[in-house]
Amino acid sequence: MKTPAGRECEHFYGDYFRGRNVEECRLLKSQGQEWTRDLCKTCPIPEIARANSCQYMKLKVTVGRPLAAMFQRRVLVGAFCEKSNRNVNEPQIGCGECHSLPFNFEVKE
Ligand code: SF4
């Protein structure tokens, strides 16, 4: 479903049927975080989901005010791989256990 920021996100839920206006982020809600519409604008989750759909990677989200963002509220993401049992520094790429990098390309002549 499209978020208020206009991006597709599997965690966004909106119900506008017959005058209803219910919106929520089910990922933040499931982790006890308070969602507001402005968070979708800078949230990295849609890009992470597009880049890496690994079933073993679990995302932990918090809402915070990082110094670099000049104290604006942001969705901060931490990732953990349940297969390799380690933190994932770059969730877009993954831990490298299942899909090792760099890829080996074979050139046939
Ligand atoms: S805050 Fe992030 S995860 Fe939640 S609905 Fe918005 S874009 Fe999706």
Q: How confident is the model at residue 67 (pLDDT cuts 50, 70, 90)?
A: confident
The strand pairing partners of 81, in sequence order, are 57, 86
CA distance 78 to 89: 8
Q: Please say whether the beta carbons of 36 and 80 come within 8 A.
A: no
- pTM, 2 dp: 0.85
Residue 4 lies in a domain: no
Listed range (38-42, 66-70, 85-89) with the worst mean pLDDT: 66-70
- Domain with 78 in it: 12-88
Residue 106 lies in a domain: no
Residue 104 lies in a domain: no
Structure tokens at 45: 């989750």
Residue 38 lies in a domain: yes
Residue 24 lies in a domain: yes
CA distance 109 to 39: 51
Q: Whose CA is nearest to atom 6 of ligand 1?
A: 40
Q: Is 79 in the pocket of ligand 1 (CB under 6 A)?
A: no
Q: Is 27 in the pocket of ligand 1 (CB under 6 A)?
A: yes
Q: Which pLDDT belongs to residue 47?
A: 96
Q: How many domains does the chain have?
A: 1
Residue 46 lies in a domain: yes
Q: Whose CA is nearest to atom 5 of ligand 1?
A: 12
Residue 96 lies in a domain: no
Ligand 1 atom at minimum distance from 61 CA: 3
Categorise residue 24: left if φ over 0, alpha if ψ from -120 to 50, beta otherwise. beta
Q: Does residue 100 have a pLDDT over 70? A: no
In sequence order, what E strands does 1-109 have?
A: 12-15, 22-25, 57-64, 74-81, 86-88
Residue 97 lies in a domain: no
